[in-house]
Structure 1
Amino acid sequence: MKTKKMIFESTFREQQYQLHESNSLESLFHLILIDDNQHSYHYVIEMLGYIFGYGEEKAWTLARIVDTQGQVIIETASRSICEEHQLQVHNYGADHRITSSKGSMSAIIESAP
């Protein structure tokens, strides 16, 4: 568990730096997670922690929002960072807790206002 936590924290620091650098040079975009019935809260929390370095509380809050509202902004960054993370979301895999889960969740990119 320590290894994952260290990876999460390291990833989060790198993303903060990248976001700071990208803010001054590029337009910002939202990466939006789309709800479905093929993934559990545990899956969403795990995935957000692994990819974005989010702690359990923040990840649970985002999981709750996507479940109740149908979508949630999980990141605001440069287009290239959003595209990289979108690919990671799409490649994360199925939820082993749900037998009908056939693949990853979906995320879309939109321009931030």
Structure 2
Amino acid sequence: MSDHQSAVAEPELAPPEVARPKFKPEQKQEVKRQPRYSVILWDDTDHSYDYVVLMMKSLFRLPIESGFQIAKEVDASGKAIVLTTTLEHAELKRDQIHSFGKDELIARCKGSMSATIEPIGD
């Protein structure tokens, strides 16, 4: 190097810091699951099998065969569990059943079918 040039020291770059977890590696984080609820469809004499099949297809995207099985179960035992899910989703599906409308195939029908939600045990 000449007298006029001075050596410029390159700054040393520190390696990037890596984020460290706030818990010790031996700690296990528990995943907390949301409680589950069943949507229950209740039987009545004012709705046809065709109505139930159409409703299950429209609201739950079930195939016709599955909708027919639910219609048979509602008819035979008075109720059927149509879905088990989180509380918010169960409330939505119950409300959609309640607002589905009347069965046009049965003249005495005045409105939608009845549905409730119930928590399931662990």
User: 2:120, 2:37 → 1: CA distance?
Assistant: 5
Structure-2-length-normalised TM-score:
0.72
Post-superposition Cα deviations, 1:50-102, rounded to whole Å, max 9, x if no partner, equal 00000001110010000000000000000100000111000000000000000
- Is the counterpart of residue 72 in structure 1 residue 80 in structure 2? yes
Q: CA deviation at 1:112?
A: 1.0
**Gap regions ≥5 residues in structure 2:** 1-31
Q: CA deviation at 1:36?
A: 0.2
1:103: which partner in 2? Answer: 111
For 1:71, the aligned partner's letter is K
Structure-1-length-normalised TM-score:
0.78
SS in 1 for 2:47: coil
Over the residues paired in the alignment, what is the CA RMSD in angstroms?
Answer: 0.8
User: 1:112, 1:51 → 2: CA distance?
Assistant: 22
| More relative contact order, 1 or 2 (CA 8 Å, 6+ apart) | 1
1:88 to 96, 103, 118: 96
For 1:61, the aligned partner's letter is Q
User: 1:93, 1:58 → 2: CA distance?
Assistant: 21
Which structure is larger by alpha-carbon Rg, 1 or 2? Answer: 2
1:52: which partner in 2? Answer: 60
2:70: which partner in 1? Answer: 62
Which stretches of structure 1, 4 residues or longer, exceed 6 Å deviation after superposition?
none
